[in-house]
Amino acid sequence: MLVRQRALGDLYRLREDEKARSIPKEEIEAYYQKNLARFEELTLTHISVPRAISKAPSDANFEAKAKQVAEELHNRAAKGEDMEKLQLEVYSTFGLKNPMQYYIDQGIKSPPASFLKPIRRGEMVQTAEAELFALKPGQVSSMQEFPSAYVTYKLESRRTIPLEEVTAEISKNLYQQNLAALVKPLASVQARYNERYFSRAGGEGVSSAQIRAAHKTVAHN
């Protein structure tokens, strides 16, 4: 009996899964238009000044110097100095190695040290994100203080990602929403038990506690 019920449940889920995957093009387009802000993307460069040297004990003097340098570089960035030049200056000032140096030495094309991959909403600390998405191209942020570094960002460009680039992402989101809605009725389904069916061989009925235990077992399965 329970095996049959489980098989029917699995079949129901498979049918509902197929329904959930059938997403009309119009539904995808409507979701995109309704959530345009989620598909806004920023291209940024940054200057990152470490607050401490890795694998070294905390040094208040070092952090004070780091903050001073970060403030100076932030002011220069705000006046229009090249972000890549300023980031490389950080490495030379503190005797740090450019993380891209290996690729440069090997003749492998690598992104600039100041480069950041494009970001979307929800990918950064909320306070920093709000400021960055309010910037206009060419503007720099305030100096952000993170646990490991002082960071200044510059907005290079922004765009709304075209629908064709996020169709798969939207389809996945809608599939998950549709499936959750379709299988929700299963959560309210309760099995009913015939006490005579569950009686012992001698005809003695099972107790209420045993019936409740049976309900619990089915629910967990």
The rounded average pLDDT for each run of 10 residues, N- to C-terminus, in the chain (221 residues) is 53 52 85 96 97 73 94 98 97 91 83 94 92 97 95 97 95 82 60 48 49 49 45
CA–CA distance, 163 with 77 (Å, rounded to integer): 34
In the chain, where the domains are located: 40-160
Topology of domain 40-160 in CATH is Chitinase A; domain 3 (3.10.50)
Predicted confidence at residue 221, as pLDDT, reads 45
pTM of the complete model: 0.70
Give the per-residue pLDDT at 186: 57
Give the Cα separation of 202 and 183 in Å (integer): 40
Environment class of 166 (CB within 10 Å of its CB; exposed 0-12, middle 13-18, buried 19+)? buried
Q: What is the pLDDT of residue 127?
A: 86
In the prediction, which pLDDT does 42 show?
Answer: 98
Both structure tokens of 145: 């203080």
Taking the alpha carbons at both ends of the chain, their separation in whole angstroms is 13
**How many C-beta atoms lie closer than 10 Å to residue 11's C-beta?**
10
pLDDT at 8: 47
Q: What is the pLDDT of residue 177?
A: 82
Q: Minimal CA–CA distance to 135: which of 153, 151, 115, 112?
A: 153
Q: What is the pLDDT of residue 51?
A: 93
pLDDT of res. 37: 95
Per-residue model confidence (pLDDT) at position 59: 78
